[in-house]
Every structure is written in structure tokens, then in C-alpha cells.
Amino acid sequence: MDRRTFLLSSGAAVGLAQLPSLSFAQAGKSLLRWVPETDLALLDPMFTTATITACHALQVFDTLYGLDENYQPQPQMVGNQTLENNDLTWKLTLREGLKFHDGSAVTSKDIVASIIRFGKRNPLGQTLFGLITELKAVNEKTIEITLSKPFPLLMYSLSGSSASIMPERLANTPDNVPVKEMIGSGPYRFIAEKWVSGSQVVYEKFTDYVPRSDGVATNTAGPKIAHVTDVKWQVINDRATAVAALQNNEVDGIESVDNDFIPVLRKDPAITLIKSALPAISIMRFNHLYPPFDNVLMRRAILAVVNQTEYMTAANGSEFPEYWNDQVGVWVPGTPMATKAGLEKLTGKRDFALARSLIKEAGYKGEPIVLLDPVDSPKHHASALVTADLFKKLDLKVDLRSMDWGSYLQRRNSQEPPAAGGWHVGFTAMTGTSNLDPTSNLGIRGTGKQAWFGWPTNPTIEKLRTDWFYAPTLEQRKALCEGIQLQVFDQVPYIPLGAIYNLMALRKGWVNFQAQGPVFYTMRKG
């Protein structure tokens, strides 16, 4: 019996019997049964960059602007906007009919409080707030934002899940405390009493939601018309079990399909495979706060021996190269900002002699390196194992810490010393939209302890990033992105391990699924 057959048969035999019943036969009701990539461990999109939390937020919360199929911002909650005073003053008026899930009307005070919360924690929000001289509610439906200088990215900054709009009382929660109630104004309500961490997440259509009357429903722009009344995320960590559940009509879709199961699913006439529109960039992230990776020589040593092809084949296999790319830098391949600048440091001949020399120069003394291994995330697990082997070849002492994804997310946020609950090296993937340009690429940020996990300090990148916001031409923006990539390969805040296209699977009969990412309000039975 080959590996695929074994995995599938073991999943069918062991896992399906353990699934809770997913029957749904109430009159007038429709149900979408979805297997997310991993467990929804954190609910507040301001406290994690995990993709699953962003997907959760996009069901529950609405935003002032949405992104269309070209990732350009379009009004969502905003009904009318005017720019005055040489584009320094923005007046945003809410469209009619907006309500929160607790029945209260959305007001300008809720908007102001939500934007303030966004500006305290989100990197792009912090950039925006560095330009805001005044933010106020003009009346019940209108806010006014006054800037110190024009900011073309204002609409874009208020379009992401981190800029979720919530009631003022929740938005006023201290910015170091996650919001406990998931009360938004989006097309679906989060049913807290049915949420079972590690098992299921349940959403119900918000019947008082009023979609936009204009535009085309793509990505997060246009009218969000919920076609199914109930959405159930069924957490199934074992991928073979998830595939077996899909084939047996126990679930309707799977967010992430391992390449082992591609041949089986391609032969199933009831299943459609869907490739994500943009790849995510898988990365190795260093903790810059503690030795040994607070020393750039150590980070350069690892860069000298990382082989993207090895990482990509370990994570995806060599059989389906159409689902991954190597020779990948900071920006998504094939998009306007993509560049080969400095890429030779990653794609040239791998140099173990140089790496050992740099490690010796850095003064490494054999201290254990805490390597985080999220075992229930197959691709990151593969990266951890390849890295552990690579470090051993360099005579680095590896302390491999295996854990589930939720525990991993909690630990990677810790700034404690590695021996006291912190870490040295972790793995994640930044979604395609996060790597199109500097606006939402958290990995490049160099603001120290205020930066993304890893907490690098790099004022040069910060200046290049700021200059990019105001560069008047495409060529100037491209040049600045080249400069950022050169800095990444010099200072090594992280190492790109390759680009991976997520592969999703859906039972036939469902239509209007968005390949940009799983937002469920467009989906319906055909």
C-alpha cells in the first residue's frame, strides 16, 4: 500500500467516526461545511496576523473600504466621501442601514473608536496615525479625518481585517487586551456558545445586514450577500481525515489540501480543486532580541546555506511544481514590485564553509537554539524539520519544540528569553496580498519591539518604506522595493523559503467561490 492510500484509508477508518454530526435539515436553512487550514485559536484580528483569524474577522466585521479583484480599495461601509483642503481633509459618511449584531445602529463614534484602536496596534494604522492631526465625529453618520500631508493609501489602510469596525464600547478595550465579544456589523454573526476550540466554529447569517447596492461582489468589495444561512467550520487537523470527509460528503470544502492527496481528488468527479489566486511566501523568522540571532552574522550564515528548492519540495513534494516557486525574494513573483535585486545571496551556490566561518566570527558557543515546530501545519512542520537538519550540519545545537498551531501562535508572540518560554526561530507564511508591496508586509518592518514577531530594528528599511508611500511614479516605487529587498538580504530579518499556492478542494455544486481567499458570503449552491 502506497503512502497516499494509507493516509486516506487511515483517515477514513479512524477520523470519520469521530466527527460530530453535520446533518442540517431545517426548513429554509442552508449550510456550508468547511474545513479550515487550522484551528481558530485567536479571535481578535488585532492580536494576530494568522490568516484564519483574518478570515474569521471578514465574516463577522465590516470595514470602511473593501478590496476588489485587483486589490484596489472601494467604498464598503462608506456611502459618500469628500476630500477638501488639498486632500488633507477626508469626510466619510456611512451608508444607510448599518447595524451591529447586538441590534444597535453603527454610528460615527463607533467608527472613530475603531480607527483609533487600529492605529494603536496595526503597523499601517500606526503610519496613518502619524499623519492624522484630527479625527472626529461630525454627526451620527459622518467622521472627519485631517492629515498633516496627503496620504494616498488612506482608503487602502482602512480596508483590511485589522481595521474591523466594532461598537465603541468594545473598541475602547485597552489596546493590550484582546476584545472578548465578537460583535461586528458583517454579513455573519459569530455564535460564541457554539464555538468549541479545536473542534468547530459556527456562523449564522445576520438577517439585518444590508449589502451595498452597487459594485460587483469580489474579494471584500461590492455587495456582501449571504446566500447560505449557516456556516460551520469543522476543525480536522488530520489531513487524510479531512479528505475522506470531503469524499464522503461529510463536509463541503477544505481550505488546504496536501499534495499527497492531489491524485486522488483529481480522479473524483464530485470534487473540484482550486488554486489560490496569489501564492503565500513561506519564511524562516529569527528572534532579534536574544543571542545568537541578534547578531547579523548568524543570520547571514543561515542565509548562505538555505536552499529554497529543498524547502519547497519538503513542504510540497516535487510531483506538482505548478503549486510552488523557488528563487523567490520579498515580493510575489510576477507582480509589479518583484525584483531580482540581491537574490543571488539566496540562489547562488550554497556555501557551508562561509556559514561556519560566520558562525565562528559571531562567537556562537553552543547554546541551544529553540526551534518552533507547529506539527499540525504540514508545510511549516516540514520547514522546521529541514531547518533542524540544516542546523545540525552546521554544528548548531537544536532544541526542537513541537506544538499545535494555536500554541505556536501564542509562543511566537512572547518576548521572553527562549529558555523562559520564548524562541529563536519560527516559521510562517505571509499571504500573497501581504507581499505585493510595503503597505502590509509585516516581515520587513524594522521597528524593534513594536515590530512583527521577531522584532528586528532597521531604520533604513523604515525610511525606504515611508518613501514608497509618497513616491509619485511606478518606477520610483519599484526602485524603493529593490532597496528594501537588498536590505532584507543584507540584514536578514527573515529568509524567504519559497512561494506556495494554496490548494483548496470543493464539492461540485457550489459556485462563486473566491480563489483570493475563503470569504463565504459569495458562495451558494448552483
With CA atoms as reference, report the closest residue to 160 among 127, 136, 205, 204: 127
Cβ atoms 304, 355 nearer than 8 A: yes
DSSP 312-341: HHHHH-SS-GGGEE-S--SSPTTSTT---T
Q: Please indicate, yes or no, whether residues 359 and 378 belong to a single structural domain of this protein.
A: yes
184 within domain boundaries:
no
Sign of CA dihedral 332, 333, 338, 339: positive
Strand blocks (E) in 185-224: 188-190, 200-205
Alpha helices in 366-404, H assignment, sequence order: 378-393
Per-residue confidence (pLDDT) for residue 26, from 0 to 100: 55
Q: Please indicate, yes or no, whether residues 92 and 156 belong to a single structural domain of this protein.
A: yes
229 within domain boundaries:
no
Provide the 3-class DSSP secondary structure of residue 42. coil
Q: Please indicate, yes or no, whether residues 294 and 358 belong to a single structural domain of this protein.
A: yes
Per-residue confidence (pLDDT) for residue 5, from 0 to 100: 46
Question: How far is residue 350's CA from residue 356's CA, in Å, rounded to a whole number?
Answer: 12
Report residue 348 as a C-alpha cell: 547562488
53 within domain boundaries:
no
Report residue 140 as a C-alpha cell: 451620527
Domain end (from 161, 179, 197): 179
pTM for the whole structure: 0.76
Per-residue confidence (pLDDT) for residue 27, from 0 to 100: 52
Q: Please indicate, yes or no, whether residues 163 and 272 belong to a single structural domain of this protein.
A: no
| Alpha-carbon torsion angle 118, 123, 128, 133, nearest 10 | 70
Write the CATH number for 268. 3.40.190
Q: Please indicate, yes or no, whether residues 259 and 330 belong to a single structural domain of this protein.
A: no
Q: C-alpha distances in angstroms, 517 versus 120, 165, 218, 441, 445? A: 27, 20, 11, 17, 24
196 within domain boundaries:
no
Per-residue confidence (pLDDT) for residue 230, from 0 to 100: 96
Q: Please indicate, yes or no, whether residues 308 and 257 belong to a single structural domain of this protein.
A: no
Before 279, cis peptide (omega within 30)? Answer: no
192 within domain boundaries:
no
Question: How far is residue 340's CA from residue 496's CA, in Å, rounded to a whole number?
Answer: 13
DSSP 405-471: HHHHHHHHT--S-GGGT--SEEEEEE-GGGGSSTTS-GGG--BGGGSSTT--B-HHHHHHHHHHHH-
228 within domain boundaries:
no
Q: Please indicate, yes or no, whether residues 492 and 463 belong to a single structural domain of this protein.
A: yes
Report residue 294 as a C-alpha cell: 541578534
Per-residue confidence (pLDDT) for residue 72, from 0 to 100: 84
Q: C-alpha distances in angstroms, 43 versus 52, 143, 151? A: 9, 27, 30
Per-residue confidence (pLDDT) for residue 516, from 0 to 100: 72
- At residue 241, φ and ψ (nearest 5 deg) are -65, -40
Q: C-alpha distances in angstroms, 519 versus 53, 166, 188, 432, 484? A: 12, 19, 11, 15, 32
State the amino acid at position 418 in one-letter form. Answer: P
Question: How far is residue 319's CA from residue 313's CA, in Å, rounded to a whole number?
Answer: 9
Question: How far is residue 442's CA from residue 455's CA, in Å, rounded to a whole number?
Answer: 10
Question: How far is residue 206's CA from residue 32's CA, in Å, rounded to a whole number?
Answer: 15
Q: Please indicate, yes or no, whether residues 135 and 163 belong to a single structural domain of this protein.
A: yes
Bridge partners (DSSP) of residue 92 are 81, 143
State the amino acid at position 57 in one-letter form. Answer: A
Write the CATH number for 302. 3.10.105.10
Cβ atoms 125, 160 nearer than 8 A: no
For the chain, what is the domain count?
Answer: 3
Per-residue pLDDT of the chain (526 residues; tens, 9 = 90+): 344 443 444 444 444 444 444 444 455 689 999 999 889 988 999 888 778 898 999 999 999 999 888 878 999 999 999 999 999 999 999 999 999 999 999 999 999 999 999 999 887 888 899 999 999 999 999 999 999 988 888 998 999 888 999 999 999 999 889 999 999 999 999 999 999 988 999 999 999 999 999 988 988 999 999 999 999 999 998 889 999 999 999 999 999 898 889 999 999 999 999 998 889 999 999 999 999 999 999 999 999 999 999 999 999 888 889 999 999 999 999 888 999 999 999 999 999 999 999 999 999 999 999 999 999 888 999 999 999 999 999 999 999 999 998 899 999 999 999 999 999 999 999 988 788 899 889 999 999 998 999 999 999 999 999 899 888 788 999 999 999 999 999 999 999 999 999 899 999 999 988 877 678 888 898 7
Write the CATH number for 167. 3.90.76.10
Taking every pair of C-alpha atoms in the chain, what is the biggest distance, in angstroms? 72
Question: How far is residue 260's CA from residue 271's CA, in Å, rounded to a whole number?
Answer: 16
Domain end (from 179, 194, 220): 179
394 within domain boundaries:
yes
C-alpha of 6 from chain center: 32
Q: C-alpha distances in angstroms, 19 versus 12, 23, 191, 308, 517? A: 11, 11, 20, 37, 25
Beta strands across the sheet bearing 369-374: 324-325, 494-500, 280-286, 425-430, 369-374, 398-403
Q: Please indicate, yes or no, whether residues 388 and 263 belong to a single structural domain of this protein.
A: no
Q: Please indicate, yes or no, whether residues 359 and 477 belong to a single structural domain of this protein.
A: yes
State the amino acid at position 310 in one-letter form. Answer: E
With CA atoms as reference, report the closest residue to 320 among 138, 502, 169: 502
With CA atoms as reference, report the closest residue to 265 among 280, 248, 278: 248
Q: Which helix (H) or strand (E) holds 83?
A: strand 78-84
51 within domain boundaries:
no
Q: Please indicate, yes or no, whether residues 252 and 323 belong to a single structural domain of this protein.
A: no
Residues spanned by the domain of 66: 62-179
Question: How far is residue 302's CA from residue 157's CA, in Å, rounded to a whole number?
Answer: 34
Question: How far is residue 321's CA from residue 301's CA, in Å, rounded to a whole number?
Answer: 28
Q: Please indicate, yes or no, whether residues 371 and 458 belong to a single structural domain of this protein.
A: yes
